[in-house]
Amino acid sequence: MITKKKNKGIHKQAKLLNTILENIPLLIMLINEDLTVQQINKFPSSLLQKKPVKVIGIPTGEVLNCLNALSDPNGCGFSKLCRKCKLRKTILETFKTKKDHNNKESEFTLLNAGKKNSFYILFSTTFINFLTRPMVLLSLQDITKRKKAETILKQSKKEIEDLVSFKSKELLETQKVLDKSKRLSELGTLASTVAHELRNPLCVIQTASYNIRRKCRTNDLTKHLDNIDIKVTESNEIIENILSYAKIKSPRLQVINLNSLIEESLIFAENRFSGNAISITKKIESTKDLSISADKLQLGEIFSNLIENAFQATSGKKQPKLTITTARTNDSRFIATFKDNGCGIDCKNIEQIFEPFFSLKSKGTGLGLTICRELINLHNGDISISSIKNKGTIVTVSLPISPGRLS
Amino acid sequence: MDKVKIMLIDDNRVFCDELKETLSLNGCEVFTFFNGKEALRSVEKVKPEIILLDLKMDGLSGFQVADKLKKNEKTKTIPIIAISGFYRAHETFFNIHNIYCCLTKPFNPAVLIDTIKGAIKQSSESVD
Ligand SMILES: Nc1ncnc2c1ncn2[C@@H]1O[C@H](COP(=O)(O)OP(=O)(O)OP(=O)(O)O)[C@@H](O)[C@H]1O
Ligand SMILES: [Mg+2]
């Protein structure tokens, strides 16, 4: 009676265990030492293509339809890639050390419904002695979906991080530009107020000098009065520069002939620097009939400033030279270069030459190039300068033939 | 030039002194006013041939003075030469309807004398 009862109890127990085994949402296999499958549960798993009854005695990799196992004529464990198989290594390790391995992850390519598919598998191994035979209990879980979601999340996280860091860099740049333009405009306001206020006293000095000249016609006074007049004119030029910098307005476009404007600017500079022995070469044939749309005053100011700088840079040179070259580019722009063999610009200064008030000349305002760049920007153009100290300087201005709508 | 009667309106006294001297040296009779209000009050009595007008003044501005002069039948034909320290004033104000022309400070006094001569010539022609 007792044994019967006991048997019944054991039977019940076995049934319960079996029910648990068949319903646990894992693929569970009992693996022999030769890595063939001894037992398998029947829970339908996406990892198992074959019918559970047909897999007993077959190597694990072949049970799973592992591509490496299938691609080698000798099957699971014989392909070169099998040596790197994490699942294989873990099972062997478990047999050797009798220690369990929990929650390992690995990627496999499995043949699934005739197609190669990448799977992520989470697996654990437990060493067991079943009727004195060493075996490994292997449980497997398909985590491909979770893994893919994770990868996407990781990617978007990286993308978001990149975007954020890019945007903050951009923001920082904008901030810098804003700071600078704010400083410039404050400086501009101050400078223009001062400049404006200086015009009245200058006007009085000029008128007074005229009156003295008219009243006492002695020659020894004339020299001094001439000096006063020259200095008044010079001061006024400085004021003009400061005011024109502070009051740069949007260009009034009109159609003008490029070459005539260059000629005019040259004459203007030659008049100002009469006595300068500079030899000027004009290579402007290619734009002979080129009409452009620009603000005549502003473009003239740009050219005059650049020519003036070249005159000043070459003064004192043995054979001062200025070459002006023009060309049309195919993308509806034109280029004018001003090349001189003057003093050049030191590397350490080249960054600063466009800054307002940067000047290495005793009488310079340092606004010439600042104004040039500002005006060129207003015309949607570009200016660049390359220079070698003591050799010379090339200034390149590129402007649209017709700027279209201006900023 | 015969003694040309000029009304000079500018709130900068030192400038007025110097300019009056310049104009006198060139045979003009100069009446100086340091603000627009007084000038407007006296203009019919003085009967100037030319008015030199500073555009930026305390109180009435030069623009307001010019406006009032042009609205008065008795003064509307008097040519006004504006002087101003505004940036590029000669370009900015060159075609303001009631101003003959504008000089930017500082200017060469000789240029002013020429401008005055031109203005007188033009107004005498238009009277004929
Ligand atoms: N062609 C050039 N060759 C050598 N140096 C140059 C040349 N053009 C500009 N520079 C350098 O750049 C500085 C700035 O030039 P920028 O025209 O802005 O001012 P500036 O010429 O000194 O003063 P301003 O234009 O008021 O006379 C100059 O002082 C000079 O040192
Ligand atoms: Mg310069």
Residues with CB under 6 A from ligand 1: A 241, 305, 309-310, 313, 340, 342-345, 353, 358-361, 364-370, 393
Looking up residue A395, the CATH number of its domain turns out to be 3.30.565.10
Tell me the C-alpha distance between A116 and A175, whole Å: 53
- Which ligand sits closest to the CA of A356? 1
The domain in which residue A282 lies consists of 251-400
**Residue that finishes a domain, picked among A111, A142, A173:** A142
Residue bearing the CA closest to ligand 1, atom 28:
A359
**Residue B32 identity (one-letter amino acid):** T
Same domain, yes or no, for A352 and A297?
yes
Same domain, yes or no, for A37 and A126?
yes
Q: How far is the CA of A370 from the centre of ligand 2 (A)?
A: 9
Residue ranges of A 211-250 with Cβ closer than 8 A to chain B: 211, 214-215, 232, 236, 243-244, 247
Name the residue of A184, A303, A309, A397 whose CB sits within 8 Å of the most ligand 1 atoms, as the mutation to test its pocket. Answer: A309
Tokens representing A320 are 């001062």
- Which DSSP category does A332 fall into? T
Same domain, yes or no, for A260 and A222?
no
CB A122 within 8 A of CB A105: yes
Give the B-side interface with A, CB within 8 Å: 12, 14-15, 18-19, 21-22, 25, 85-88, 105-110
Interface-testing mutation among B52, B87, B104, B114, with chain A (most A C-beta atoms within 10 A):
B87
* Residue closest to B75 by CA, chosen among B50, B100, B101, B103: B50
Same domain, yes or no, for A208 and A316?
no
Same domain, yes or no, for A325 and A212?
no
Contacts A200 to B, Cβ<8 Å: 12, 15, 85, 105
Same domain, yes or no, for A261 and A379?
yes
Tell me the C-alpha distance between A343 and A388, whole Å: 8
Same domain, yes or no, for A394 and A317?
yes
**Residue that finishes a domain, picked among A213, A247, A281:** A247
The tens place of each residue's pLDDT in chain A, 407 residues long, gives 556 677 888 888 888 888 888 888 889 999 999 999 998 988 888 888 877 778 889 999 988 889 888 888 888 989 888 989 999 999 999 999 999 999 999 999 998 888 888 999 999 999 998 888 999 999 999 999 998 898 888 888 888 888 888 888 888 877 776 766 666 666 666 776 777 788 889 999 999 999 999 988 777 888 889 999 999 998 988 888 877 776 666 677 888 999 999 999 998 888 877 777 899 999 999 999 899 989 888 899 899 999 999 999 998 888 999 999 999 987 789 999 999 999 999 999 998 898 877 888 877 777 889 889 888 988 889 999 999 999 999 999 999 988 764 44
**Residue A157 identity (one-letter amino acid):** K
The ligand 1 atom nearest the CA atom of A343: 4
Contacts B107 to A, Cβ<8 Å: 203, 206
Quote the radius of gyration of chain B (alpha carbons, Å): 13
CB B7 within 8 A of CB B116: no
Looking up residue A235, the CATH number of its domain turns out to be 1.10.287
Tokens representing A295 are 């603000």
pTM summary value: 0.45
Looking up residue A116, the CATH number of its domain turns out to be 3.30.450.20
Same domain, yes or no, for A136 and A37?
yes
Q: What is the pLDDT of residues A269-323, one digit of tens each?
A: 888 777 778 999 999 999 998 999 898 888 998 999 999 999 999 988 889 999 9
Same domain, yes or no, for A200 and A282?
no
Q: Distance from B87 to chain A by nearest Cα, in Å?
A: 6
Examine residue A6 and state whether it is found in any structural domain, yes or no. no
Long-range contacts of A35-42 (CB under 8 A, 24+ apart): A35/A59, A35/A60, A35/A76, A35/A77, A35/A88, A35/A91, A35/A92, A36/A60, A37/A63, A38/A130, A38/A135
Same domain, yes or no, for A103 and A59?
yes
- Which ligand sits closest to the CA of A238? 1
Helix pair B36-46, B62-71: axis angle to 10 deg: 30
**Residue that finishes a domain, picked among A226, A247, A268:** A247
* Residue closest to A197 by CA, chosen among A239, A245, A249, A246: A239
Examine residue A257 and state whether it is found in any structural domain, yes or no. yes
Tell me the C-alpha distance between A400 and A382, whole Å: 9
Q: Do B19 and A247 touch (CB under 8 A)?
A: no
CB A328 within 8 A of CB A290: yes
Examine residue A3 and state whether it is found in any structural domain, yes or no. no
CB A339 within 8 A of CB A369: no
- Write the DSSP assignment of B74-116 as a string of letters: TTTTS-EEEEE-STTHHHHTTT-TT-SEEEESS--HHHHHHHH
Residues that place a CB less than 5 A from ion ligand 2:
A 309, 368
Examine residue A171 and state whether it is found in any structural domain, yes or no. yes
Burial B4-40 (b: 16+ CB within 10 A, else e): bebbbbbbbeebbebbbbbbeebebbbbbbbebeebb
CB A378 within 8 A of CB A406: yes
Examine residue A15 and state whether it is found in any structural domain, yes or no. no
Q: Do A206 and B108 touch (CB under 8 A)?
A: yes
**Residue A31 identity (one-letter amino acid):** I
Quote the radius of gyration of chain A (alpha carbons, Å): 44
Examine residue A10 and state whether it is found in any structural domain, yes or no. no
Residue bearing the CA closest to ligand 1, atom 31:
A360
Same domain, yes or no, for A258 and A243?
no
The total of structural domains in chain A comes to 3
Residue A46 has φ and ψ, to the nearest 5°, of -65, -15
> A191 - beta bridge partners?
none
Tell me the C-alpha distance between A396 and A394, whole Å: 6
Q: How far is the CA of A407 from the centre of ligand 2 (A)?
A: 25
Long-range contacts of B59-62 (CB under 8 A, 24+ apart): B59/B11, B59/B35, B60/B35, B60/B36, B61/B36, B62/B9, B62/B36
Measured between CB atoms, which of B22, B87, B110 is closest to A247? B87
Q: What is the pLDDT of residues A185-196, one digit of tens each?
A: 666 667 767 777
How far apart, in Å, do the first and last CA atoms of chain A sit? 104
The ligand 1 atom nearest the CA atom of A314: 3
- Which ligand sits closest to the CA of A272? 1
Residue bearing the CA closest to ligand 1, atom 26:
A365
Examine residue A148 and state whether it is found in any structural domain, yes or no. no
Examine residue A185 and state whether it is found in any structural domain, yes or no. yes
CB A194 within 8 A of CB A206: no
Same domain, yes or no, for A266 and A393?
yes
Q: Hey, what domains does chain B have and what are their CATH numbers?
A: 5-127 (3.40.50.2300)
**Residue A220 identity (one-letter amino acid):** D
